[in-house]
Chain A
């Protein structure tokens, strides 16, 4: 039992966090709970504190519209939280699509699909192109362009307000990640993930690699959804400094040699 906890502690925490947030939002709509109302685009915490998706607010600004104070304050609060503390944790602790893509990725490993599958190569920078494009399209079309197609919003809204045909989007992402491109959606395309990678680039909490302990088993790289961030494994003791790290902690828990652990960014030491 304790072994299961040790090997899956962050995964369990993440699932609890993701599901608890969904339950709170659903309660906000159906049973009038005042803990979290709205959805991930914009919400009210405890009936008072406004929260807003800063990426959505930026798209609205791109259309030329000026949002009211609530959305602006909400976006600032969320941005500050992820910039200082959360990093890109939105993707692994909050986003409901993460559960879909994690399942696809798990099956990929379990069925050893990577061994047989035709490999497609795609740049992990596509998300930044998509993000740039979303601002341009928002400006040209006068509406927040990604918000009208966002699978994250469709999934999250679907769970809270009614799914309609939204489930087809979830199926599409699942199949895409399972059979077409490994970590396809979250790791390559999603501009919201890209946005939080940029915002959370210099946050406080980071995974740190302790090179002398490393036995080069590469279990961390196998589970990591953004394995390019683990470029220092077996080479150098340092923090995982790339913004794309979602702080999901999978590498920390699969490591049998205590070569990876959560720590606080050392702002004084050079190079971090």
Chain B
């Protein structure tokens, strides 16, 4: 009897050990394989974390894309297997008005709500609402920043003068010319990548990156005092705790003037 029990326990332990070994290897692979901080997702994609939970890897968005912008990651692409992405330098997103890629998504990994807005009581598509990424200018390799006239990205931008606008600056080198510099406004940039596709330099000097990689975050303790709406955030606040030290008891002017003989 004891022998039987022993055999049973050992075989149980064996099974559990096999499952644990397999599980750890499997988990280790999946955990690494799903991490792709620089991947650019289709229009309407949810946050990368939620996207990776929901995407069923069916490729319906890829099939719907009329420009073959979207592709499915295959083994060797070094991207989470089977998930859709795009490479703007090769094929950018042409921002179709009717957004064919988002509605076919069966799981909601691509969120229709995020690319529609209310108009006259019904939801209409608005591709300018999508945020696939944001364009970033490399000002050392952008020839416009050298003073050479180039506005390829600006002209390619579907939201011209909003997502990319040209800023005039004096050319200090020649002293008598102007530089017209492309500047991206992340409030409007959709990340379509038409600018990166159009860029004339050997390696694009304007690049689309995932928004959470490229953009910073100010934090809630900064308030735009000049903006009524932002100032409103202070309403109901119980004031700011000020740290008082022997030195800070005095006013700054007092503190600065202390000990100086003005005679």
Q: What 1/0 mask marks residues of chain B from 48 to 63 whose CB sits below 8 Å from any chain A CB?
A: 0110111011111011
- Given known A-B contacts A42-B60, A65-B50, A133-B22, A157 and B74 have beta carbons under 8 A apart: yes
Q: Is the CB of B26 within 8 A of A149?
A: yes
Q: Is the CB of B53 within 8 A of A64?
A: yes
Within the complex, which residue of B23, B56, B72, B105 is in contact with A147, where a contact is CB–CB below 8 Å?
B56
Residues of A within 8 A of B76 (CB): 164-165
Stretch at the interface among A49-57, A231-239, A264-272: A49-57
A169 and B105 alpha carbons, distance in the complex (Å)? 27
Is residue A212 within 8 Å, beta carbon to beta carbon, of the partner chain?
no
Q: Is the CB of B107 within 8 A of A42?
A: yes
A153 and B81 alpha carbons, distance in the complex (Å)? 9
Is residue B80 within 8 Å, beta carbon to beta carbon, of the partner chain?
yes
Q: Is the CB of B74 within 8 A of A144?
A: no
Residues of B within 8 A of A143 (CB): 30, 34, 52-53, 80
- Given known A-B contacts A38-B60, A67-B107, A68-B108, A141 and B30 have beta carbons under 8 A apart: yes
Residues of B within 8 A of A105 (CB): none
Is residue A18 within 8 Å, beta carbon to beta carbon, of the partner chain?
no
Q: Whole-angstrom distance from the CB of B155 to the nearest CB of chain A?
A: 32
Q: Whole-angstrom distance from the CB of A60 to the nearest CB of chain B?
A: 6
Q: Is the CB of B56 within 8 A of A161?
A: no
Q: Is the CB of B27 within 8 A of A70?
A: no
Residues of A within 8 A of B27 (CB): 137, 140-141, 145
A60 and B27 alpha carbons, distance in the complex (Å)? 16
- Given known A-B contacts A37-B63, A141-B30, A165 and B54 have beta carbons under 8 A apart: no
A168 and B107 alpha carbons, distance in the complex (Å)? 29
- Given known A-B contacts A141-B34, A143-B34, A157 and B50 have beta carbons under 8 A apart: no
B33-74 with Cβ < 8 A to chain A: 33-34, 49-50, 52-54, 56-60, 62-63, 71-72, 74
A42 and B63 alpha carbons, distance in the complex (Å)? 13
Q: Is the CB of B30 within 8 A of A161?
A: no
Q: Whole-angstrom distance from the CB of A231 to the nearest CB of chain B?
A: 22
Is residue A29 within 8 Å, beta carbon to beta carbon, of the partner chain?
yes
Q: Is the CB of A60 within 8 A of B106?
A: no
Q: Is the CB of B74 within 8 A of A158?
A: yes
A142 and B47 alpha carbons, distance in the complex (Å)? 13
Q: Is the CB of B106 within 8 A of A70?
A: yes
Chain A contact residues (Cβ within 8 angstroms of B): what range? 35 or more
A66 and B19 alpha carbons, distance in the complex (Å)? 28
Is residue B119 within 8 Å, beta carbon to beta carbon, of the partner chain?
no
A53 and B80 alpha carbons, distance in the complex (Å)? 19
Name the residue in B52, B75, B107 with the highest tally of chain A Cβ atoms < 10 Å from its Cβ. Answer: B107
Is residue A99 within 8 Å, beta carbon to beta carbon, of the partner chain?
no
Residues of B within 8 A of A140 (CB): 27
Is residue B82 within 8 Å, beta carbon to beta carbon, of the partner chain?
yes
Q: Whole-angstrom distance from the CB of A189 to the nearest CB of chain B?
A: 10
Q: Is the CB of B29 within 8 A of A149?
A: yes
A157 and B55 alpha carbons, distance in the complex (Å)? 14
Is residue A224 within 8 Å, beta carbon to beta carbon, of the partner chain?
no
Q: What 1/0 mask marks residues of chain A from 71 to 82 whose CB sits below 8 Å from any chain B CB?
A: 100100000000
Q: Is the CB of B75 within 8 A of A60?
A: no
Q: Whole-angstrom distance from the CB of B71 to the nearest CB of chain A?
A: 7
Apart from A71-B56, A71-B108, A161-B72, list 19 A-B contacts with CB within 8 A: A37-B60, A38-B63, A44-B104, A56-B56, A63-B53, A66-B108, A67-B56, A71-B107, A133-B19, A137-B30, A143-B34, A145-B27, A148-B29, A154-B75, A161-B59, A161-B62, A162-B72, A162-B74, A166-B75
Task: Report the 10 A-B pairs with minimum CB-CB distance, sorted nearest first.
Answer: A164-B74, A68-B108, A42-B58, A70-B106, A165-B76, A65-B53, A165-B75, A164-B76, A63-B53, A71-B106
13 contacts between A and B (CB under 8 A): A41-B57, A65-B50, A67-B108, A70-B107, A74-B106, A130-B22, A133-B23, A137-B30, A143-B34, A143-B52, A144-B53, A154-B82, A169-B75
Binding site for B on A (CB under 8 A): 28-29, 37-39, 41-44, 50, 52-53, 56-57, 60, 63-68, 70-71, 74, 129-130, 133, 136-137, 140-145, 147-149, 153-154, 157-158, 160-166, 168-169
